Amino acid sequence: MNYRKLGIATIIVVYLVVVAGGVVRSTGAGMGCPDWPRCFGSWVPPTDISQLPANYQEIFGAKLKGEVLFNPLKTWIEYVNRLIGVVAGILVFATFIASLKYWKRDKAIVGLSLLSFLLMGFQGWLGSKVVSTELKPLMVTLHMLVAIIIVFVLLYAVARAYSEVSDVEKVTQKSKLNLILVIAIILSVVQILMGTQVREAIDEVVFRIGYDNRDQWIEQVSQSGLWFYIHRSFSLVVFAFHVWFIRSLMKNTNQSGLLRSYGKAMLALVGLEILTGVIMAYFSVPAYLQPMHLTLAVIMLGVQFITFLLLNAENVFGRINRKQANSFAASLHTSNVRN
């Protein structure tokens, strides 16, 4: 079992979990399955209301402290989300098993792989709490934050397993670049968390006026508090720091390589993130853009973290091999292009 290829595949599936979660929220399918881990009491949910008992609202409404209306589309969207989560869990466990061969060479790989497996188990527990608390905002936000941490842990674990190929790029003023990049990452996380506050405000609006009134969502959210305006304006701060980083990076690297490529990708992702946000704000929050907006944000964080690993390759990987960081980044880049 190839740990490196399996690890990259696992990272991609974890990203799919984030995408699926975004689709669930954008379609309002979060309570498509009122119970957990089953769905309407079955491991395979029904496709028609005739497959449910006549008093299903009474049976499952008690769990939600309210009435449940069966919607097959929302039910199966939530169910597929859960299935992808199960696949991700299996892959994370397989990644941990495959990491055991590195025990003598680098115990950190095994430890990080075990940590990702434990975090995935915690993520599954959080998923059950999201359902049992009827999509409580804090639980939904924590659920997403743990997914981001899992991605970071897996990226670092897989990166340490690479030990060949090209030399790490020479970089001057590394301390300055590190400072700018770390601040950019922190600001990005803050921006994403503020985005969850906006999303929670939208959920409250949807609860009041319904999904059919999308054209009124932004107006209602903008009137309910400052989070919308802060989130919108803060995006310019995040973009400015990324511009500062890429300009500094260009001045302090002597060759074009993966480090510059990932730096440019970071800036492009921030730009796309802002663009999707603008479109949602001025075009009635199109459902297809909501999961895209979230997915771009999480991909951006992943690219930022890989850039950080590349920038600090000699310190992060020096104990093993100074050449492995570029090998990992190149392989991940190739995998993303193919997918």
Beta bridge partners of 253: 171
**Residues 120, 157: one domain?**
yes
Q: Is the pLDDT of residue 287 over 80?
A: no
**DSSP H stretches of helix in 67-136:** 72-99, 107-132
**Residues 203, 150: one domain?**
no
**Residues 173, 82: one domain?**
no
Q: Is the pLDDT of residue 321 over 50?
A: no
Residue 135 confidence class, pLDDT cut points 50, 70, 90: low
| Tokens of residue 161, six digits | 């397993």
Q: What is the pLDDT of residues 137-170, one digit of tens each?
A: 677 778 778 888 898 899 888 888 875 444 456 7
Q: Cα separation of 285 and 127, whole Å?
A: 25
User: Residue 301 belongs to what domain range?
Assistant: 166-339
pLDDT score at 63? 59
Find the length of the chain.
339
Q: Is the pLDDT of residue 276 over 60?
A: yes
pLDDT score at 182? 93
**Residues 202, 312: one domain?**
yes
Question: Of 271 and 65, which is predicted with more confidence?
Answer: 271
Q: Cα separation of 120 and 157, whole Å?
A: 15
Q: What is the pLDDT of residues 305-319, one digit of tens each?
A: 988 888 887 666 544
| Domain boundary, last residue among 138, 161, 184 | 161
Question: Of 229 and 171, which is predicted with more confidence?
Answer: 229
Beta bridge partners of 42: 39
**Residues 99, 191: one domain?**
no
**Residues 104, 191: one domain?**
no
Residue 97 confidence class, pLDDT cut points 50, 70, 90: very high
**Residues 179, 82: one domain?**
no
* Whole-structure pTM value: 0.76
**Residues 152, 212: one domain?**
no
Percent of the residues in the chain that have a pLDDT greater than 90, as a whole number: 23
**Residues 117, 193: one domain?**
no
| Domain boundary, last residue among 161, 184, 206 | 161
**Residues 236, 310: one domain?**
yes
| Domain boundary, last residue among 117, 146, 161 | 161
Residue 330 confidence class, pLDDT cut points 50, 70, 90: low
For residue 186, CA distances in Å to 2, 277, 296, 308 come to 33, 19, 16, 13
**Residues 147, 182: one domain?**
no
**Residues 338, 202: one domain?**
yes
What domain count does the chain have?
2
Please provide the DSSP assignment of 234-299 as one string: HHHHHHHHHHHHHHHHHHSBSS-SHHHHHHHHHHHHHHHHHHHHHHHHHTT--TTHHHHHHHHHHH
